[in-house]
Amino acid sequence: MSDKKTAIITGSTSGIGLGIAEGFAQAGINLVINGIEPAAEVEAVRAGLEKHGVKVIYDNANMMDPGEISAMLMRAEAEFGGVDIIVNNAGIQHVAPIDEFPEAKWDAIIAINLSSAFHLTKAALPGMKARGWGRIINVASAHGLVASPFKSAYVAAKHGIVGLTKTIALEVAEQGITANAICPGYVLTPLVQKQIPDTAKARGISEESVIRDVLLANQPTREFVTTEQLAATALFLCSDGAAAMTGIALPVDGGWTAH
């Protein structure tokens, strides 16, 4: 990336999204961050990112509302003159057996984890096509490649993200735009921390057993993936060196999907 770029990263005021935002800011990329944390926390995050010498704005677009997602893109284009990179990262989770899974939770997970990526990509593509350059990075999951019990909506959404990524890549392959999915293994984010007690309840085991025997059982490294590793992966996918990489679902999962 030889000139100043601008990225929108959804769900970027905590967890994986914030880690990617940190990496992008350090690389000199202007940012639009998005999330649901309290205003004071968001401002602290925004100000911290700007210490890297980039401009950072916050947009509180509701990832369940296509109109707000489109408005966020238009605001970013007005502010920065264009959006070069989008990272569709926003996500929520709920853990329950299918026959006990609340319909409202299913609808929310599909909307936030899958449909929001479609809406932001749709809004961003015209500008990327006009400039002849763009990078679309969808944060999927190892659960976009394999399944686990009690996570029907999340697994369905993440498999959908992988399929969406492939379709986008094929449609824009001749226009200087790439689309790729990063498939992390378990990262000790607030989202993962919140699901530990739910998984313990669903399986009838202790929280310590969830970490040891469920979360990290399938990661041969027996270590959580770090947000810094994911940021480095996202930055590589934005580089000229990755221009021939498109339509892939790239595991960063400690060996989980090598089984």
Distance CA 228, CA 189 (A): 12
For 66-96, give the DSSP string.
Answer: HHHHHHHHHHHHHHHS---EEEE--------
Distance CA 144, CA 239 (A): 24
What six digits make up the tokens of 94?
A: 């709920």
Distance CA 203, CA 183 (A): 25
Contact 180, 166 (CB under 8 A): no
58 is catalytic: no
Contact 63, 108 (CB under 8 A): no
Distance CA 34, CA 37 (A): 9
Largest CA distance in the chain: 54
Of 154, 186, 224, 256, which residue is the catalytic one? 154
Contact 10, 90 (CB under 8 A): yes
Q: Which residues are catalytic?
A: 154
